[in-house]
Amino acid sequence: MDLIKVFNTRNPVIGVLHLLPLPTSPRWQGDLQSVVDRAEQEATALASGGVHGIIVENFFDAPFTKGAVDPAVVSAMGLVVQRLQTLVTVPIGINVLRNDARSALAIATCTGAAFIRVNVLTGVMATDQGLIEGCAHDLLRYRKELGSSVQILADVLVKHARPLGSPNLTTAVQETIHRGLADGIILSGWATGSPPNLEDLELAKAAAGDRPVFIGSGADVDNIGTLMKAADGVIVASSLKRQGDVNQPIDPIRVGQFVEAMQESLEALEGNLNLPTMVAPKG
C-alpha cells in the first residue's frame, strides 16, 4: 500500500466517523436524514482539523451480526459515503461491523472510496458475536471480480476478541499479509479506547516488511509520540470526541490538537534519527 499515493503523506491520521444507528438497528430512530446530517458535520470537523483520511463505521448498530448485514444498512452507508465524497476531499474508507467485508468492499467500490477495514481477514476469533472466521478467500476473489483497486487494511488479533488457539503475533501478521494478501496491518489494544503496547507494535512492524502498520485504537495526544516509534499511521476515534467519550460527537478542537501532536511527534522522531553519531575520543 502506497501511503503517499492514497493519503498524500507517509504517516496518515485516519479519523473514525461513527454513524448514528442505521435501519434495522435496535436503536434506529427512523430518520435517515439525521444520520446524514450528523455524518456531514463530523466529516467536516475531521477534515478541517487536518486528518488525512476518514473511515466510516456503523458503530452504533450494536449488537452486531457476525455475518452479512441487512441490505438496508448497505444502502444507507452507501448513501452517506456518497454524500461525504462531495463534501470532503480526503480519502474515505469503510468498515461494516462486525466483519461484513464483502459489503464494505461493494460500498467502497461503488462510491469510489479508497480503502476498507476488515476485523478478521484470516484465522478464527472468538468474539461476543460468536466465532468469526477469516474471509480472505471470498474477499480477494470478490475484489478481483469487481475489478476494484480498493485497499484492504486488516486487523491482526483484533480488539474485543480472542484467537482460537494461541498464534504468535509475528506469525499472525505474516499470515495476514502473505496468505490473506492484506495491503496494510492494524494493531489495536484489547478494546475500544485501549492502545496496543509498543513492544507489540515493534513486533508487528518487523513482521510486516514493506506493508504499513496502523495503530488501531487508544491513541491520544499523550501517547502518540511513543506509539509512532513503531507505526506508519494511526486510526483514531475516541480521543477526537468531546471529553474523549466515544458516545459523543467529534470535537474539532480535539481533532486539531491530535493532528498537531502527531506532527510534533514525527518531527521529534525524525530529529532523533538525524542526530550525528557521537564518537568517543581516543586515548
User: What DSSP string runs through 130-181?
Assistant: EEEE--HHHHHHHHHHHT---EEEEESS-SSEEESS---HHHHHHHHHHTT-
Q: If DSSP codes are grouped into helix, strand and coil, which group holds residue 69?
A: coil
Domain boundaries, the chain: 3-273
* Most confident of the ranges 147-151, 188-192, 242-246, 265-269: 147-151
Tens digits of per-residue pLDDT, 21-50?
999 999 999 999 999 999 999 999 999 999
The predicted pLDDT at position 274 comes to 60
DSSP-assigned beta bridge partners for residue 185: 154, 213
Tens digits of per-residue pLDDT, 44-60?
999 999 999 999 999 99
Mean pLDDT, the chain, whole residue set: 93
Per-residue pLDDT averaged across 246-268, rounded? 95
Closest CA to 184 of 203, 157, 212, 217: 212
Res 201 pLDDT > 90: yes
Per-residue pLDDT averaged across 195-219, rounded? 95
Burial bucket for residue 198 (CB in 10 Å: 0-12, 13-18, 19+): middle
Tens digits of per-residue pLDDT, 75-92?
999 999 999 999 999 999
Question: What DSSP assignment string belongs to 182-211?
Answer: -SEEEE--SSTT-PPPHHHHHHHHHHHTTS
User: In which band, very low, low, confident or very high, does the pLDDT at 270 lie, cut at 50, 70 and 90?
Assistant: confident
The predicted pLDDT at position 273 comes to 62
Res 280 pLDDT > 60: no
Fold entry, domain 3-273:
TIM Barrel (3.20.20)
Ramachandran angles phi, psi of 165, nearest 5°: 100, -170
What's the first-to-final CA gap in the chain, in angstroms? 50
User: In which band, very low, low, confident or very high, does the pLDDT at 278 lie, cut at 50, 70 and 90?
Assistant: very low
Per-residue pLDDT averaged across 204-229, rounded? 96
Tens digits of per-residue pLDDT, 152-174?
999 998 878 788 876 789 999 99
Separation between Cα atoms, residue 24 and residue 44, nearest integer Å? 27
